[in-house]
């Protein structure tokens, strides 16, 4: 076994790929350590190139709710690949997944498959603009909807981790129609509506935010938001790329009893293959080309391998509602355990959790309700905690502003191992 293999591979990766990665947060930029270079995954575990085993709480940033390389998902990909890799033509496989999603989810009459969460959200915005004939959109500070130019203002996820206001290369014109409101603060939305209600095509929101750390929307706030949208004929878009099939099979919308006009999906719906989709009311979806005048297309959209892996994953989740009870019970164990260990250590933490996604905020506030609160977290302390946990074989997101994820192959002892590792950490508080 080569004990420096992670470092060797990552060093060479930096020669050929910017930062050595294909997505920024993977680079562990401010952590001064080499990220483990992952070779394989099995159930709850991932293994790096040096043979080190980790209990995985990242789950490919969300998709692996069935654990890594679930036998049925692998079989569906293998079987499909024997006869169908890509056609760029209608297939029964895409019908099967589309029908399954439309019939098992609420408020999705029709769906369009795409290849990533970014594609899903940017296309949903285009559709909303085409449908309403309006240009402006409202997004919330700290919510992340992908790397589309119009969303790269006050974004969460990697943009927040890197502490940058947005991104270079985004023309001012691309963001001039993006208006920013404060999460869980209906007055901030009303202020915007009061100045230009008739120009606002859509409000897009993560109903359970996961990209400034986990912050669930408050019920009253979402209810008011929906009301405001309805009164002004503005579309409400729930971005369930992360929360869909994760916080519940039917996603975050099932907690709130609110009917969004459009919903975006990705991550879990592709079973770990590149995927995305957006769907909603028939009357809106029929504005998409070839029926309507909103043009959106994709060579790889509805790819047979993705459709097979996605269907197998969603069917398995749908047929096994007990999975969600298990995830809730694991989540509860984790949440209570973390609070207890933090107390033993005299640390102030806020644990925000919805089902199988959670964030441990190192933060002195009593509650974290929005981007402003999340930003007050002690990122240095998180970094010390993260490095220690990694050393102990616990793979966590490398940023305070991301969610950790549980999977159905986990058992209580995986959570106990997590807590044991946390207990052995000696916090270095050098804020
Ligand atoms: C809520 C949300 N929307 C959109 C995206 C973008 O998805 P993708 O990375 O597949 O483009 C993400 C990615 O994490 C997300 O969490």
Q: How far is the CA of 147 from the centre of ligand 1 (A)?
A: 8
Strand 349-354 to 357-362 pairing? antiparallel
pLDDT of residue 155: 75
Q: Which atom of ligand 1 is nearest to 267's Cα? A: 10
**Which pLDDT score is estimated for 161?**
67
pLDDT, tens only, 338-385 = 999 999 999 999 999 999 999 999 999 999 999 999 999 999 999 999
Q: Which atom of ligand 1 is nearest to the CA of 61?
A: 14
Q: What is the CATH number of the domain that holds 249?
A: 3.40.640.10
Q: Any idea what the Cα angle at residue 42 is, between residues 38 and 47, rounded to 5°?
A: 30
The predicted pLDDT at position 165 comes to 60
* Cα separation, 182 vs 154, whole angstroms: 10
Q: How far is the CA of 117 from the centre of ligand 1 (A)?
A: 4
Q: Could you tell me what percent of the chain has a pLDDT over 90?
A: 91
Residue 29 has pLDDT above 70, yes or no: yes
Confidence of residue 164 (pLDDT cuts 50, 70, 90): low
Assign 162 a pLDDT band (cuts: 50, 70, 90). low
Among the atoms of ligand 1, which is closest to the Cα of residue 264? 3
Q: How far apart are the C-alpha atoms of 139 and 152, rounded to whole Å?
A: 10
Candidate of 25, 244, 267, 401 to mutate for ligand 1, largest count of ligand atoms within 8 Å of Cβ: 267
208 falls within a domain: yes
Q: Is residue 166 part of a domain?
A: yes
Q: Give the pLDDT confidence of 205-261 residue by residue, as tens digits.
A: 999 999 999 999 999 999 999 999 999 999 999 999 999 999 999 999 999 999 999
Q: Give 3's pLDDT tier (boundaries 50, 70, 90).
A: confident
Closest ligand 1 atom to 243 CA: 1
Residues 145-168 have a mean pLDDT of: 78
Has residue 431 got a pLDDT over 60?
Answer: no
* pLDDT of 396 strictly over 80: yes
In a domain, 350, yes or no: no
Number of domains within the chain:
1
- Between the CA of 105 and the centroid of ligand 1 the distance, in Å, is 20
Beta bridge partners of 351: 360
Residue 81 lies in a domain: yes
Ligand 1 — pocket residues by CB below 6 A?
61, 116-118, 121, 144-146, 157, 206, 210-211, 239, 241-242, 266
44 assigned to some structural domain: no
Ligand 1 test: best mutation among 113, 204, 211, most atoms within 8 Å of CB? 211
Tell me the CA–centroid distance for residue 166 and ligand 1, in Å: 16
Whether residue 25 is contained in a domain is answered as no
Q: How far apart (Å, rounded) are the C-alpha atoms in residues 380 and 428? A: 8
Residue with the bigger pLDDT between 376 and 160: it is 376
pLDDT tens digit sequence for 85-111 = 999 999 999 999 999 999 999 999 999
Q: What is the spatial distance between Cα 425 and Cα 344, in angstroms, rounded to a whole number? A: 12
Looking at residue 30, its pLDDT comes to 85
Distance (angstroms) between ligand 1 centre and the Cα of 144 equals 7
Note whether residue 147 is domain-resident. Answer: yes
Provide the token pair at 315: 């069917």
Query: Which parts of 89-116 fold into alpha helices (H)?
Result: 92-104
Q: What is the pLDDT at residue 153?
A: 78
The residue nearest atom 7 of ligand 1, judged by CA position, is 117
pLDDT digits (tens, 9 = 90+) for 31-83: 999 999 999 999 999 999 999 999 999 999 999 999 999 999 999 999 999 99
pLDDT beyond 90 at 156: no
Domain range enclosing 82: 76-318
Average pLDDT across the chain, whole number: 95
Here the tokens at position 66 are 């069935």
Give residue 245 CA to ligand 1 midpoint distance, Å: 14
* Per-residue pLDDT at 189: 97
The residues, any chain, with a CB within 8 Å of residue 270's CB and separated by 6 or more, are 63, 276, 306, 309, 310, 313
The pLDDT of residue 337 is 98
Residue 128 belongs to some domain of the structure: yes
Q: Which residues are catalytic?
A: 144, 239, 267
Please give the share of the chain, as a percent, with pLDDT higher than 70: 98
Predicted confidence at residue 430, as pLDDT, reads 57
Burial of 239 (0-12, 13-18, 19+ CB in 10 A): buried
* Residue with CA closest to ligand 1 atom 8: 117
Does residue 203 surpass a pLDDT of 70?
yes
Alpha carbon 250 to its chain's center = 15
């Amino acid at each position: 076994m080569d004990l420096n293999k992670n470092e060797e591979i990552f060093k060479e990766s930096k020669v050929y790929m910017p930062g050595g990665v294909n997505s920024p947060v993977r680079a562990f930029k401010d952590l001064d350590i080499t990220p483990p270079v992952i070779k394989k995954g099995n159930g709850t575990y991932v293994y790096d190139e040096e043979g080190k085993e980790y209990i995985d709480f990242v789950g490919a940033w969300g998709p692996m709710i069935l654990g890594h390389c679930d036998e049925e998902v692998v079989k569906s990909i293998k079987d499909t690949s024997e006869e169908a890799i890509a056609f760029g033509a209608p297939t029964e496989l895409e019908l099967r997944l589309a029908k399954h999603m439309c019939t098992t989810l609420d408020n999705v009459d029709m769906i369009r498959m795409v290849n990533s969460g970014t594609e899903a959200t940017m296309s949903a915005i285009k559709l909303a603009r085409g449908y309403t004939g309006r240009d402006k959109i409202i997004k919330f500070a700290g919510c992340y909807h992908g790397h589309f130019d119009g969303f790269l203002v006050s974004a969460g996820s990697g943009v927040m981790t890197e502490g940058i206001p947005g991104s270079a290369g985004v023309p001012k014109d691309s963001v001039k129609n993006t208006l920013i409101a404060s999460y869980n603060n209906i007055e901030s939305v009303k202020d915007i509506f009061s100045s230009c209600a008739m120009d606002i095509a859509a409000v897009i929101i993560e109903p359970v935010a996961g990209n400034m750390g986990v912050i669930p929307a408050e019920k009253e706030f979402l209810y008011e938001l929906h009301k405001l949208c309805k009164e002004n004929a503005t579309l409400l878009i729930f971005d369930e790329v992360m929360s869909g099939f994760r916080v519940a099979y039917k996603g975050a919308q099932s907690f709130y009893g609110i009917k969004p006009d459009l919903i975006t999906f990705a991550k879990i719906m592709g079973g770990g293959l590149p995927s995305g989709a957006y769907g909603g009311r028939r009357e809106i979806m029929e504005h998409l080309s070839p029926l309507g005048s909103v043009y959106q297309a994709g060579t790889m959209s509805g790819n047979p391998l993705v459709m097979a892996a996605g269907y197998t994953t969603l069917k398995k989740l749908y047929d096994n509602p007990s999975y969600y009870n298990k995830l809730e019970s694991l989540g509860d164990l984790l949440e209570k355990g973390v609070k207890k260990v933090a107390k033993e250590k005299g640390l102030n933490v806020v644990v925000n959790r919805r089902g199988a996604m959670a964030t441990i905020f190192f933060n002195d506030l009593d509650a974290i309700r929005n981007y402003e609160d999340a930003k007050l977290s002690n990122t240095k302390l998180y970094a010390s905690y993260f490095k220690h946990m990694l050393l102990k074989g616990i793979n966590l997101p490398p940023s305070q502003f991301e969610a950790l994820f549980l999977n159905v192959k986990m058992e209580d002892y995986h959570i106990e191992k997590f807590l044991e590792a946390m207990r052995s950490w000696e916090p270095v508080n050098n804020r």
